[in-house]
């Protein structure tokens, strides 16, 4: 039934105006980033550049400011995502397939881990890293970031594993496959789109993580781009807006590329389609 009354038309226009305002709020910062990155005299205001220039990109595209920090970000984010996904799959499979009275309490216990503020955890974590001589270690930082991402990753992965019919695994067991072989040859291929979602979620969260690398990675050679971006915030409130905008564009490219690659690889379809004939 269409809204044809005056009240219905007014409600429709109100909703459209609100959606338009919300869209403007999200689009304006993106417009500023694009325009300011090509503006030699960029300010905090959104303005059309008087003279288009690539000077901002030339200043930030250096090994110290861009290439090394971006490489460190890639190592941290990819390492964290890979470790998290592997452990989440290994944890989610038994939680999905083997029912006992401890499953639900365990799931709620690990979910409680997402409620702990990272700022409160960093004091004991820093002390632990000092005692283990892991301060300024990329490997140690990857493991901690993976551990902090695991609770939500396990919950998400378990939901995807639950969607796989157990009859497919039973057929593999009849053929003599072990539980571990069944997991990697039957379940994982079927939940590949779900695993990709978890991977992207963890990767993006790690890519934008500032606080953990800032505390655990001390030397400039190990710091990721999320930390080095603060180089453009000078003393006494001075900010290099043009360079900051150019760096922000470069900083967003790997994440956008990841979305494109994964979406093309998966094709937007579920691997479960056609797996079971009803």
pLDDT of residue 273: 44
> Is residue 273 one of the residues assigned to a domain?
no
Burial of 145 from C-beta contacts in 10 A (0-12 / 13-18 / 19+) = buried
> Is residue 2 one of the residues assigned to a domain?
no
User: Are residues 238 and 27 in contact, defined by beta-carbon separation less than 8 angstroms?
Assistant: no
Residue 16 lies in domain: 9-52
Do both 37 and 67 map to the same domain?
Answer: no
> Is residue 167 one of the residues assigned to a domain?
yes
Do both 66 and 44 map to the same domain?
Answer: no
Mean pLDDT value across residues 229-258: 82
> Is residue 15 one of the residues assigned to a domain?
yes
Residue 29 has pLDDT above 80, yes or no: yes
Do both 73 and 200 map to the same domain?
Answer: yes
Between CA 238 and CA 120 the distance in angstroms is 31
pLDDT of residue 146: 94
Do both 45 and 183 map to the same domain?
Answer: no
Enumerate residues 6+ apart whose C-beta is below 8 A from 217.
136, 138, 141, 223, 224, 227
Total domains, the chain? 2
> Is residue 274 one of the residues assigned to a domain?
no
Instruction: Indicate the pLDDT class of residue 237, thresholds 50, 70 and 90.
Output: low
Mean pLDDT value across residues 246-260: 89
Do both 96 and 19 map to the same domain?
Answer: no
Do both 48 and 65 map to the same domain?
Answer: no
Q: Using the CB atoms, write b or e for 189-213: b if 16+ within 10 Å.
A: ebbbbbbbbbbbbbbebbbebeebb
> Is residue 224 one of the residues assigned to a domain?
yes
Between CA 33 and CA 35 the distance in angstroms is 6
Do both 14 and 111 map to the same domain?
Answer: no
User: Are residues 154 and 95 in contact, defined by beta-carbon separation less than 8 angstroms?
Assistant: yes
């Amino acid at each position: 039934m269409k809204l044809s009354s005056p009240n219905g038309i007014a409600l429709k226009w109100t909703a459209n105006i609100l959606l338009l305002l919300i869209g403007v709020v999200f689009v304006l910062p993106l417009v500023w980033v694009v325009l300011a990155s090509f503006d030699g005299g960029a300010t905090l205001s959104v303005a059309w550049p008087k003279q288009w220039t690539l000077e901002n990109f030339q200043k930030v595209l250096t090994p110290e400011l861009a290439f090394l920090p971006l490489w460190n970000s890639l190592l941290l984010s990819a390492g964290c995502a890979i470790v998290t996904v592997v452990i989440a799959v290994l944890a989610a499979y038994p939680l999905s397939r083997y029912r006992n009275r401890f499953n639900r309490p365990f799931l709620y216990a690990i979910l409680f881990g997402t409620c702990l503020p990272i700022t409160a955890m960093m004091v004991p974590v820093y002390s632990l890293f000092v005692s283990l001589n892991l301060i300024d270690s990329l490997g140690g930082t990857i493991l901690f970031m993976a551990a902090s991402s695991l609770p939500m990753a396990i919950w998400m992965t378990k939901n995807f594993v639950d969607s796989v019919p157990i009859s497919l695994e039973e057929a593999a067991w009849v053929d003599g496959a072990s539980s571990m072989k069944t997991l990697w040859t039957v379940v994982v291929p079927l939940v590949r789109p779900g695993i990709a979602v978890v991977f992207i979620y963890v990767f993006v969260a790690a890519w934008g993580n500032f606080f953990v690398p800032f505390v655990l990675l001390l030397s400039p050679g190990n710091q990721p781009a999320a930390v080095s971006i603060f180089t453009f915030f000078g003393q006494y409130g001075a900010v290099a807006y043009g360079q900051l905008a150019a760096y922000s564009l470069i900083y967003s490219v790997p994440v956008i590329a990841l979305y494109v690659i994964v979406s093309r690889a998966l094709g937007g379809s579920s691997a479960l389609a056609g797996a079971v004939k009803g």
